[in-house]
Structure 1
Amino acid sequence: MDYTNAFNDIVRAQKDAQRQLDFDDSQRELAGVEVGRIGRFLSPEAREALREGRGDGSRGGSSMSALDWMMLNDPAYARAYEGAMNALADAERAVDRALEQALERAETAQSILDDTLENAMKLPDGTAVFMDAEGVVRSEDGEAIDPVLAATLEWQGNEPSYELFVEQRDGLGAANDAVADIRRDQVELGDIREELTDQDDPPSKERVNVLQDRIEEIGSGYAPREQPEPVASTQSFSAAKPDLAGL
């Protein structure tokens, strides 16, 4: 007989049995079930919370989430978790404020551009056109209008210039891009909150620290800073008629 292998098999069986007993006891403690043995897995605070949750037993017992268990039993984890959640709340507030401001700027930029298009010269078919600094009449996409057609337009001298239109159009694009960027950060923070508050599968302390670093990285992008105002239509207008000599 191979006594060494037999002995090792016995030891493994004992360890397996002990691991199963530990697991069963931990589950019973989490469920608030008294088994007559000294509690080995929950802190006194956690056990007290379970007793209070059970009350007089009329509700048939209660359970504690894995996140609550870690918070109650691991002070280092609790400190890391609290730090991450505080940083998350600060970042969420900063992002919400930034989004509100960005939406206002985008709305203002859109309104200004709409006014510019309304005041622009129109072709017979209603297409808005603008005169650039060189006297060339252009459509919104920058294409030069047929000079013969341009010669039929009756310019008043107060129409918005092509340069102003481009500046306002680009400003609106930048404002909309800023809104989209903020919304992406908002979604990411929402995903982080969901991960941090997972009651059944909470992140490890190391993961909590990683998440806090990312939270702070996002939040740092929303430090108070000067934001450019949209360019108003009244700041620049074309005053010269196109040079139609030689037509």
Structure 2
Amino acid sequence: MKLLRYGPVGQEKPGLRHDDGTIRDLTEIVPDIAGPMLGEAGLAALRALDPDSLPVVPGEPRIGACVGAVGKFICVGLNYADHARETGKAPPEEPILFMKATSAISGPFDDVEIPRGSTKADWEVELGIVIGTRAKYVAEADALAHVAGYCLVNDLSERAFQSERGGQWTKGKSHDTFGPIGPWLVTRDEIADPQDLPIWLEVDGIRRQNGSTRTMIFDVAKLVSYISQFMTLQPGDIIATGTPPGVGLGHKPPIFLKPGQTMRVGIDGLGVQIQRTIEARA
């Protein structure tokens, strides 16, 4: 299934993307694409529905973030061997973890703000893991059973804030609109192998990132198991699993975002995002 949320910011409703391309309304079935309904029982109930019996959502509504009420937005740094090489850093021996503020979450086609004082705004296409059931001290062999599905993430960053302003990476990762997710949550059963997905990003029509999840250092199962040793993962938590090479910082000379540009972001099977960059709003 491809689950989504549509409507104005803060008023999103649950929906399902039918195979015919229409959005089908789920508001009479579930309150939101969030929390406990992301567990096996909730997803099984949705899977049992006949999509043709659901109301068609008319027009072309705004598509919001594909998961609501996200509790934790966890990111993994330097998780692609080829990306680690382009940064000049050794591949990590254990996953590098940091948090992105949930207030950064936005829709897949919403404008992206370039922060005030920004000099090094950057892009990062990533595979997102959506947790479906509580995970604490989970064995690697059991980890995927706790995954509801996957989504596309653009883990935007301000590199100067991230690396030149002291402290942790979070301040460079958490500006409003720096976490577009979606357009939809694709349930785990529809992704045969999350470690074999082409992943790419374009800026103004130029392909800047072109990779595959095959080059991830720590795979999805490893990440879910590893993170669950340090914190309990709850339904609706999102894990952004790292980015392949081609980020702006990795180019020689580096290339950074400015207002007035357009990004297209994609992972095979998970859809495409499109964002226009604008100056930050108050």
Larger relative strand fraction: 2
Larger relative helix fraction: 1
Tell whether the structures are fold-level matches, with TM greater than 0.5. no
Q: TM-score, normalised by structure 2?
A: 0.18
Q: TM-score, normalised by structure 1?
A: 0.20
Larger Rg: 1
